[in-house]
Amino acid sequence: MASNKVLVIDDTTVVRVKVREMLPPGNFDVLEAKDGVEGLNLIRQEKFSLIMLDFLLPKMSGWEVFQQIQSQPELRKIPLVIMSGRKEEVTEKIAEPFENFEFLSKPFDQKQLIGAIKSAMTKAKQPRQEPAPVAPSTTENNSTPTPDAGIPSSANEIQALNEKIVKMQTEIDALKKQLAQVVTFIKQKIK
């Protein structure tokens, strides 16, 4: 009997089937949604152990579904993996480092999928900070910004930047490894 109910929201049938096939058999009950509206309706009806959300969806975008999930305390606790073939579309809306969900770049393999799920589960268990209200850059029309505007002013901001650097280096290393694998594959095909 399946112990974990997973929702895969993606407009591409191939991706939904790929996720279903890559998950260990017997451990997961996979439900599918082909657009944001259908996905959000399922989220409201069922209790999920994991949500896998494509960022670009018809009817209601993944960004809008993400905002709905984040606006409700009970839904925010569900581990979330956001999937996209273009990470920059995600980072335009959500700043890195991604503290409350895991990002999975398309295309992906089984090892990357399982890693993303494990990471999302870990992130979902961590306590969350409520987002701080954004202060306006100037409070009065005649005020001038301080000379060090834009420079991190707290240890937390510096640590967040350092974590971002480490994460980016990890991504660079992974891309180098993938490139090496592609080159090796091409060389084998040429022989």
Domain shared by 77 and 19, yes or no = yes
- Which CATH number characterizes residue 30's domain? 3.40.50.2300
Domain shared by 164 and 71, yes or no = no
Give, for 8, the enclosing helix (H) or strand (E). Answer: strand 4-9
Helices (H), 71-154: 73-76, 87-93, 110-125
Domain boundary among 75, 110, 125: 125
DSSP class of residue 141 equals T
By residue range, what is the domain housing residue 81? 5-125
Domain boundary among 69, 103, 125: 125
Domain shared by 121 and 161, yes or no = no
Full pLDDT tens readout for the chain, 191 residues:
456 888 898 888 888 888 888 887 777 888 898 888 998 888 888 888 888 888 888 888 888 888 888 888 888 888 888 888 877 777 777 766 777 788 888 888 888 888 888 888 888 777 765 544 444 444 444 444 444 445 545 777 787 777 888 788 888 888 888 888 888 888 888 87
Domain shared by 117 and 170, yes or no = no
The pTM of this model reads 0.61
